Amino acid sequence: MKIQTATLGYPRIGKNREVKKALEAFWNGKIGSQSLLQTVKEVEEANWKTQLDAGIDKIGIGDTTLYDHILDWTFRFGLIPERFQQFSGLERYFAMARGKEGISALEMTKWFDTNYHYLVPEITSGALRADWSDFIERVSRAQEILGKRAIPIVFGSCTLLRLSKLDLNVDTAISQLIPLYTDLLTELKSLGISEVQIHEPALVLGDGNNWKEHYQAVYKSLSGVEIPLNLVTYFDDLGETYSWVMDLPVNAISLDLTRGSNLELIKTYGFPEDKRLGVGIVDARNIWQICPEEVIPKLETIKDVVREFEVQPSASLQFVPYDATRETQLPEALRNVLSFAEQKLQEVVFLAQKITVCDAKYNHEPLVNFNRNNSQNQSKFDATKLTVTYYKKDQKTIETAWEKFRRFSPINQIVQQQLKSLTSKDFERNLSYDLRRSLQISLPVFPTTTIGSFPQTSDVRKLRVRYKRGEISQEDYQTAIKAQILECIRSQEEAGLDVLVHGEFERTDMVEYFGQQLQGFAFTQNGWVQSYGSRCVRPPIIYGDVIRTQAMTVDEFIYAQSLTEKPVKGMLTGPVTMINWSYTRTDISRQEQAFQIALALRDEVTDLEAAGAKIIQIDEPALREGLPLKTKRWNEYLSWAVDSFKLSAGIAKPGTQIHTHMCYSEFGDIITDIERLDADVLSIENSRSNNETLYELTDGGYSKQVGNGVYDVHSPAIPTTEQMLSQLRTGIANLPVKQIWVNPDCGLKTRRWEEVIPALKNMVEAAKKLREEA
Ligand code: GLN
Ligand code: ZN
């Protein structure tokens, strides 16, 4: 039998970010809701058509969203917190997503270990008034276009609850939800739907076993509807839940074969005879074309063990951009091994075809030219033939592309040699913190500083765009940036800060800026992926050995330092953050890639020191978010992550003060790793968490200096001296005076100058008052 193909979701922002643009126009009152919804519909149908044309047999339907698909389900099930009940329709939806004057939005947090953010449902008791008519409308429309291939995606109840803020116990919540799910599935069944995907990614989290009874109860109830269910998991393996998940009363189970050890679990414990396996083998989280020699043997193993299976991406394709062939600015050799959503569809079809024809019994299956118009007519629908006709990738093209790429981006022997000759000494500062401290810059108690960036006004942004387009010369550009630096230094002096920064005006983004100057990084033109709502990012691609060919930050530092007697900090982005916010290579480990970046940063540290820097900050805001989903794998990650930071900083002279910055982090459970970073000063967000972050450090006995974030950079409100003073007093009550710095929570790039100057003046004032008390 021919192996079938499926998808679990598709990018939904539009190939040209149509949904993003429509959303922003709608919020600005430039278009009405009809026009917004029309755009979403067009993008959605174009997505379906792409998947249909690629030859996907079972196309996931219903993940298209106006903001966030988790919010959609919260909304459909009527899980509306009290404060939003005064609104209705779209106004309510967007109030939940974005807040309103005086009403806070739902909290936003990272979706598993991806860089997508979802809105956290808040669930309280009370009757639910569900309305999923928008979903039914979509499914019906999809059926008209796709026939039996339309497979609705429903978000699973256990995962919904696991990721929510619950104001009632789980049993009660589940008993409220089950009837809704049963009704929904019954309605889908009456539409003639052949199968429903239920996404339950929370099964891969380490605490899955605690939820065993809940899953069992839910799926027992749902099986009563008698519509085939595909229980979909992704982002990691099932781990300890594997055996009981296999017994749940569903027709199919989808597993991620690109992460964790699902294949080993299948081989060890087998796969139930009565179920189909969804083999998530095409990596939905990275942008590389498959390597047939790695993937095909895996599929063959599965074929030996599993009676019936389908080939699919490992998760929704929302985590990759639309189409790699549009990246015409990239070297062809690189472009041809990239695989975005459209190419991944082809790979899914290629693999299904490959594994089918490998089977001698079906080798003779004829290719039949399929007339696409027939797809409207369900009785003539024959997915088997459709896929064979439309599939484009073949093994030869794939393999040749990889060969060309290897020649294009060979291993760099110098970097390899450097990595090989690293010894434990390279990861350590020359002197211990206690000994080097007295050699470092001396400052008043409660020194004041900022995190690095200053307002990125529209003038600054326009300047960079014009330079990039070649509309202004490099010289004019640099002169203009220098003018910004000058103004920034003057403002900081006026505010009375002790340690200054140059303001980061030359940087669009803290990763992109460095990536663009390092060899081994590539940047796309259209490679947008949704970060949240209408916000999209274009993650850099690390494709080769990373090499620094020239200093990256030294000119700006020298200029800034020449303008003032006060010390200016050198500003770098750390290796872990660069890795976590990029698409990374799969031929070498993340650790090795982080070490390569660290080696480049080491040279930058040395150059900054030579240029006179007494203080260098290496930001690592993404260190915590890189933690693996299962706690038992944390140590392995933290070990290399901390090491790569230490490798970048270890070269610094004992007299150089190394700072690092982490925003919006929790430290309680990783305090020893934070300590092991051995940074002289760690600046943290602390004002929004009400000193919580600081207490986590101090309770854990943190021994080095802490930059205490006293000013919420996300709010346009100007914090008063009194506010900051009172926060400082309570926050530092248990800390030795010599350990405390005073700074904002994070960079100031999103704020306006009119807000920043008075706020910083107040902050300096607060530090001065504290000094008088000390
Ligand atoms: N130095 C960066 C800035 O000030 C740090 C940004 C961050 O923590 N995300 O913008
Ligand atoms: Zn920050």
- Rounded to 10 deg, the angle between the 721-731 and 753-773 helix axes is 50
Tell me which ligand sits closest to the C-alpha of residue 569: 1
Domain residues of the chain, as ranges?
4-407
* Span 504-519, pLDDT tens digits: 999 999 999 999 999 9
Residue nearest to atom 6 of ligand 1 (CA): 747
Q: What is the pLDDT of residue 370?
A: 36
Which residues, at least 6 apart from 347, have a Cβ–Cβ distance to it below 8 Å? 282, 289, 290, 339, 393
Which residues, at least 6 apart from 428, have a Cβ–Cβ distance to it below 8 Å? 646, 650, 678
Tell me which ligand sits closest to the C-alpha of residue 570: 1
Nearest 5 degrees, angle CA 752-CA 754-CA 760?
95
Which residues, at least 6 apart from 89, have a Cβ–Cβ distance to it below 8 Å? none
For residues 411 and 545, the answer to whether their CB atoms sit within 8 Å is: yes
Q: What is the pLDDT of residue 366?
A: 35
For residues 711 and 744, the answer to whether their CB atoms sit within 8 Å is: yes
Q: How far is ligand 2, taken at its centre, from the CA of residue 270, in Å?
A: 46
Q: How far is ligand 2, taken at its centre, from the CA of residue 682, in Å?
A: 11
Q: What is the pLDDT of residue 125?
A: 81
Q: Which amino acid is at 688?
A: R
Q: What is the pLDDT of residue 47?
A: 98
Catalytic (active site) residue 714:
yes
Residue nearest to atom 3 of ligand 1 (CA): 747
**704 C-beta neighbours (distance < 10 Å), count:** 18
ipTM confidence score: 0.99
Q: What is the pLDDT of residue 359?
A: 54
Tell whether 636 is in a known binding site: no
Tell whether 115 is in a known binding site: yes
Q: What is the pLDDT of residue 774?
A: 79
Which runs of consecutive H residues, i.e. helices, occur in 529-589? 554-562, 575-580
Q: How far is ligand 2, taken at its centre, from the CA of residue 713, in Å?
A: 9
CATH architecture of the domain 4-407 equals Alpha-Beta Barrel (3.20)
Q: Which amino acid is at 471?
A: E
Mean pLDDT by groups of 10 residues along the chain of 774 residues:
94 97 97 98 97 97 96 96 95 95 90 95 86 97 97 98 95 95 98 98 96 98 98 98 98 98 98 98 98 95 96 98 97 97 97 78 38 39 41 83 96 96 98 98 97 96 95 97 98 98 96 97 97 95 98 98 98 98 97 98 98 98 94 96 98 98 85 96 90 89 94 91 95 90 96 96 97 89
Which of 69, 117, 364, 714 is catalytic? The answer is: 714
For residues 54 and 346, the answer to whether their CB atoms sit within 8 Å is: yes
Atom of ligand 1 nearest to the CA of 453: 4
Nearest 5 degrees, angle CA 508-CA 511-CA 514?
90
Spatial distance between the Cα atoms of 231 and 228, rounded to a whole number of angstroms: 10
Q: Which amino acid is at 415?
A: V
Q: Among 115, 450, 451, which residue has the most ligand 1 atoms within 8 Å of its CB, making it the best to mutate?
A: 451
Q: What is the pLDDT of residue 358?
A: 61
By DSSP bridging, strand 535-537 and strand 529-532 are antiparallel
Atom of ligand 1 nearest to the CA of 661: 8
SS3 (DSSP) at 169: coil
- Phi/psi of residue 504, nearest 5 degrees: 60, 30
Which residues place a Cβ less than 5 A from the ion ligand 2? Answer: 621, 663, 746
* Span 563-597, pLDDT tens digits: 999 999 999 999 999 999 999 999 999 999 999 99
Tell whether 111 is in a known binding site: no
Q: Among 449, 460, 504, which residue has the most ligand 1 atoms within 8 Å of its CB, making it the best to mutate?
A: 504
Tell whether 535 is in a known binding site: yes
Residue nearest to atom 1 of ligand 1 (CA): 452
Spatial distance between the Cα atoms of 493 and 760, rounded to a whole number of angstroms: 11
Q: Which amino acid is at 74?
A: T
Residue nearest to atom 4 of ligand 1 (CA): 747
Length of the chain: 774
* Span 149-195, pLDDT tens digits: 999 999 999 999 999 999 999 999 999 999 999 999 999 999 999 99
Exposed, middle or buried, 493 (CB in 10 Å: 0-12/13-18/19+)? middle
Atom of ligand 1 nearest to the CA of 507: 10
Spatial distance between the Cα atoms of 349 and 391, rounded to a whole number of angstroms: 6
Tell whether 452 is in a known binding site: yes
Tell me which ligand sits closest to the C-alpha of residue 453: 1
Question: What residues are in contact with ligand 1 under a 6 Å CB criterion?
Answer: 451-453, 504, 510, 571, 619, 621, 661, 663, 746-747, 749
